[in-house]
Amino acid sequence: MKLEDKVAIITGAAQGIGAALAVGFAQEGAKLVIADILDGKRAVADVEKAGSEAIFVKTDVTKQEECDALAKAAVARFGNIDILVNNAAIFGDIVMKPFTDVSDEEWDRLMAVNVKGPFHCCKSVFSYMKNKGGKIINISSASIMEGVPFMPHYVASKGAIMAFTRALARELGDHKINVNSIAPGFTHSEGGDRFDHNKAVPIPPLEELQLEQRCIKRAAVPEDLVGTAVFLASHMSDFISGQLIVHDGGMSMH
């Protein structure tokens, strides 16, 4: 197993991509800490069904003290933190609309979750990782490659995640902490499906727009991301840091 006895925190793992990554990590032997503002009971049960152990720690990533408590709870239960996946984000509730209609409040709230959240979580796990190494995986979005319109705050937040990944990778390399990011294209998660039915501009479903441009012309599901995340969380990627792996069926190439 590729993650035997590793301890992984995944934020936003009560549902969607985070929950699929939790099960995928569990199947590789990892112990999971599920963090979310939503109830994580179902995700914990799914990890247990997959043959591993998990705890749920209710966490709002916009609050540094809650992220610190998350890291403490992980160490109290499992003794260590090896892997952090910064996956929590505002996505499903976004309404696509002209940029002039995005309010300051919407912009600030989204940045607080999507950008400041990962910053908080990295700070919280650092003291536990710094002497022994670790893996940090930040979930960005393929929308930064395409420049998807009508959601400028979201696309800007995910571009910031790519840049944050690079800066942190440089700073943490000497601590044997690898920092990488994954950029999914449109994926059928709970959030993804809600998002694609909720638009204030007359554009077709994103999947319809993206399918034709993919090399691999099929719908994407959260489980598609498991292999890449396991790779980045495991020793197999020990010499890779600061990278962005685009995960959109070959729609954009970089």
- By beta-carbon proximity to ligand NAD, the closer residue of 176 and 194 is 194
**Both tokens assigned to 53:** 């152990």
User: Please, which residue, 4 or 105, has the CB nearer to ligand NAD?
Assistant: 105
Q: Are 193 and 215 spatial neighbours (Cβ–Cβ below 8 Å)?
A: no
Using the minimum distance from each CB to ligand NAD, give the nearer residue, 131 or 197.
Answer: 197
- The DSSP code for 201 is S
32 three-state secondary structure: strand
The CB-of-92 to ligand NAD minimum distance in angstroms stands at: 4
Q: Taking the complex as a whole, how short is the minimal distance between the CB of residue 126 and ligand NAD, in angstroms?
A: 19
Write down the catalytic residue from 91, 126, 154, 195: 154
Nearer to ligand NAD, 124 or 189 (CB): 189
Smallest gap from residue 68 Cβ to ligand NAD (A):
14
For 162, residues 6+ apart whose C-beta sits below 8 A from its C-beta are 140, 144, 181, 183, 244
Q: Which is nearer to ligand NAD, 22 or 169 (CB)?
A: 22
- Closest CB 170 distance from ligand NAD, rounded Å: 23
Least separation in angstroms between residue 236's CB and ligand NAD is 22
The Cα 42–Cα 68 span in angstroms is 24
Residues forming the site for ligand NAD (CB under 6 A): 11-12, 14-18, 36-38, 59-62, 87-92, 113, 117, 139, 141, 184, 186-187, 189-192
Reference 31, options 50, 12, 11; nearest CA is 50
Instruction: Report the C-alpha gap between 129 and 165 in whole angstroms.
Output: 16
55 three-state secondary structure: strand
Closest CA to 161 of 98, 249, 242: 242
Per the DSSP assignment, residues forming a β-bridge with 139 are 182
Residues 6+ apart with CB under 8 A from 124: 64, 67, 68, 70, 71
Q: Is 128 a catalytic residue?
A: no
Provide the 10 A C-beta neighbour count for residue 62: 17
**What is the set of active-site residues?**
154
